[in-house]
């Protein structure tokens, strides 16, 4: 009856508990798996859900106890206030001939512009320096190479705020207080180690024979770079850039401490809307959604490069 099998995989398969062999076991398994998935999803998604519904509530509904799970009187009030005051701050109100008299003072466009400036700058710095370092670390043999790689990895595990005080001193010495350049440098330095690790993996895996093939195809070094290395590196470069960009986009503590309100990026900017008992939470939520949209759209578009870049899918031909 029982097959005389010596295949370890099959033996392993036949040696299962009642969880696998019985109908109740089958359902219990399903329930456990679904329950865990549901619990985790709720934990991750509920705050996002709460932000979205809050944005569509009126101020009075937000203060209701017990809170409502679904807005009873959906309203775009929060969005209206954010958009109007941003337009006003940007001087577009007179241009459009609108009369805006909002109590709050929000300039989402400026926040986004500041954040973009800082995040793109930091991304480029991390990319340029990280890629060059990665290339050298991959291609050259020298003493202390492993130590450098370990140090870079350790710096990624280190919370940035732990070196707040020396950073403060540094920025002060460089006379860069209240400048976006300070943030660009700090964020760039914080993310460059990640870029080094990612791009070193890329260069380590880069087949020498492809470069040889390019040389035999009569490429100059520049042409090899332009037509062969660069296109093949694109995914890894995009992944590196996104990583650095997102860190800079989300970072709060340095931005809050090194900038004045006039130059705030998105995270500290949103924080200024939180004003104790007077906080208009629907405005905060609406602003949060609005500033997330451009990044979400961008990420959705380049997501596939991100995954390919991280997994090295570009090279395996």
Partner 1 sequence: MTTLELDGVTKTFGAPDAGGVVAVDDVSLTVDDGEFLVLLGPSGCGKTTTLRMIGGLETPTEGVISFDGTEVNEVKARNRDVAMVFQNFALYPHMNVSQNLGFGLRRENEDRSSEEIIDRIEAVAEMLEIEGLLDNTPAALSGGQKQRVALGRAIIREPRLFLFDEPLANLDASLRKTMRTEIDELQSEVGITSVYVTHNQEEAMSIGDKIAVMNDGRLQQLGTPSEVFNEPSNQFVAQFVGSPDMNLYEGTLTENGDVYRVNVGITEFDLPSGLVQAGDDVLDVVVGFRPQDLFQSRTRQTGGPKIEADLRVVEPLGTEAILYGETEGRAIRATDTQFHDLDEDQSVTLSIAPEHIYLFDANTEELLKGRLMTEREDTGVGEVEVRDGAGAEVRDG
Q: Which residues bind partner 1 (CB under 8 A)?
A: 207, 209-210, 212-220, 223, 227-228, 231-232, 314-317
Measured CA to CA, the distance from residue 20 to residue 26 in angstroms comes to: 6
**Pick 103 or 216: Cβ nearer partner 1:** 216
- In whole angstroms, the minimum distance from the beta carbon of 43 to partner 1 comes to 39
Measured CA to CA, the distance from residue 191 to residue 240 in angstroms comes to: 9
**Pick 233 or 248: Cβ nearer partner 1:** 233
| 4's tokens | 């005389």
Measured CA to CA, the distance from residue 156 to residue 154 in angstroms comes to: 5
Region of 103 please: left (phi>0), alpha (psi -120 to 50) or beta: alpha
CA atoms within 13 A on the CB side of 90: 17
Let me know: does 250 contact 160? Beta carbons within 8 Å: no
- In whole angstroms, the minimum distance from the beta carbon of 306 to partner 1 comes to 17
**Pick 172 or 220: Cβ nearer partner 1:** 220
**Pick 97 or 317: Cβ nearer partner 1:** 317
- In whole angstroms, the minimum distance from the beta carbon of 234 to partner 1 comes to 8
- In whole angstroms, the minimum distance from the beta carbon of 230 to partner 1 comes to 10
Sign of CA dihedral 54, 59, 63, 64: negative
- In whole angstroms, the minimum distance from the beta carbon of 208 to partner 1 comes to 9
Residue given tokens 């450098």 in the structure block:
148
- In whole angstroms, the minimum distance from the beta carbon of 204 to partner 1 comes to 16
Measured CA to CA, the distance from residue 122 to residue 255 in angstroms comes to: 13
Closest-CA residue to 265 (of 104, 91, 118): 118
| 234's tokens | 């694109």
CA angle 69, 71, 73 (to 5 degrees): 150
**Pick 171 or 233: Cβ nearer partner 1:** 233
Q: How many CB atoms lie within 10 A of CB 272?
A: 15
User: What angle, rounded to 10 degrees, do the helices at 23-55 and 77-89 form?
Assistant: 50
**Pick 159 or 317: Cβ nearer partner 1:** 317
**Pick 95 or 222: Cβ nearer partner 1:** 222
- In whole angstroms, the minimum distance from the beta carbon of 317 to partner 1 comes to 3
CA angle 283, 242, 230 (to 5 degrees): 150
Q: How many CB atoms lie within 10 A of CB 231?
A: 11
- In whole angstroms, the minimum distance from the beta carbon of 126 to partner 1 comes to 24
**Pick 21 or 212: Cβ nearer partner 1:** 212
């Amino acid at each position: 009856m029982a097959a005389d099998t010596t295949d370890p995989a099959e033996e392993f398969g036949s040696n299962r508990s009642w969880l696998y062999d019985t109908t109740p076991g089958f359902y219990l398994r399903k329930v456990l798996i679904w329950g865990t998935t549901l619990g985790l999803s709720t934990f991750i998604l509920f705050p996002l859900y709460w932000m979205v519904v809050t944005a569509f509530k009126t101020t009075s509904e937000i203060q209701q106890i017990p809170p409502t799970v679904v807005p009873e009187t959906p309203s775009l009030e929060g969005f209206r206030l954010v958009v109007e005051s941003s337009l006003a701050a940007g001087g577009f109100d007179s241009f459009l001939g609108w009369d805006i008299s909002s109590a709050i003072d929000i300039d989402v466009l400026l926040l986004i512009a500041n954040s973009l400036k800082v995040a793109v700058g930091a991304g480029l710095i991390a990319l340029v320096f990280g890629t060059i370092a990665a290339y050298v670390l991959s291609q050259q043999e020298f003493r202390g190479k492993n130590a450098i790689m370990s140090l870079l990895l350790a710096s990624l595990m280190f919370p940035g705020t732990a070196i707040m005080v020396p950073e403060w001193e540094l920025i002060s010495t460089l006379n860069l207080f209240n400048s976006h350049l300070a943030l660009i440098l700090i964020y760039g330095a914080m993310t460059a180690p990640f870029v080094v690790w990612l791009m070193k993996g890329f260069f380590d895996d880069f087949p020498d024979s492809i470069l040889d093939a390019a040389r035999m195809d009569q490429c100059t070094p520049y042409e090899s770079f332009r037509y062969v290395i660069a296109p093949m590196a694109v995914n890894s470069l995009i992944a590196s850039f996104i990583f650095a960009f997102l860190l800079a986009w989300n970072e709060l503590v340095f931005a809050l401490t090194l900038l004045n309100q006039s130059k705030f990026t998105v995270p500290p900017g949103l924080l200024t809307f939180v004003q104790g008992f007077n906080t208009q939470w629907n405005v905060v939520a609406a602003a949060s959604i609005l500033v997330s949209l451009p990044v979400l759209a961008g990420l959705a578009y380049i997501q596939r490069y991100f995954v390919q870049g991280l997994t090295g899918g570009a090279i395996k031909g």
